[in-house]
Amino acid sequence: MTLRFAREADLDTIIALIHGLAEYEREPDAVRLDREELRRHLFGPRPYAEVIMAETGSGEVAGFALFFHSFSTWEGRPGIWLEDLFVWPELRGQGFGRALLVRLAQIAVERGCARLEWSVLDWNEPAIGFYRALGAIAMDEWTTYRLTGEALESLGRSA
């Protein structure tokens, strides 16, 4: 097993993994990304996110973790937000997901981060059990809010 930071040449594989995740999460039509925009945001002059690729011993891509930095005002330190973690279904159970999370924890420690956080769909019992086994705790008292589309545009235009 190999873990490495993604390269620009991995872009189409990253997009395939994103589509695979959307299928798994029962939202196959929700992916609206633009390839060039994603390339710019991952590999351009100001990257907004980073990707760790997991590969089998033969070099086949098994999965990925896409993450970016957050910031805790209470801690006064950065954190890492794990946006996506996905392993191809046929390669699950071989330690790729755990290895990706271990690597992210190492990066968080190396970079002086206070926390590593992510969200999980409430119906995804296999993932919830996996995360609990690692020692992660659910932040059930917090509710995530989101502005998108017209609501975001409208608020952004308000004075």
**DSSP output for 68-109:** EEEEETTTTEEEEEEEEEEE-GGGTTSSHHHHHHHHHHHHHH
Domain count, the chain: 1
Judged by phi (left if over 0) then psi (alpha if -120 to 50, else beta), residue 117 lies in beta
Give the CATH number for residue 57: 3.40.630.30
What's the CA gap between 135 and 72, in Å, rounded?
21
Query: What does the pLDDT read at residue 77?
Result: 97
Domain that includes residue 13, residue range: 2-157
Query: What does the pLDDT read at residue 88?
Result: 97
> Which residues are designated catalytic?
131
Query: What does the pLDDT read at residue 159?
Result: 73
Tokens matching residue 92: 């699950």
- Location of structure tokens 């998108």: 148
Query: What does the pLDDT read at residue 123?
Result: 93
Mean pLDDT, consecutive 10-residue stretches, the chain (159 aa), reads 98 98 96 98 98 97 98 97 97 96 97 96 92 93 91 92
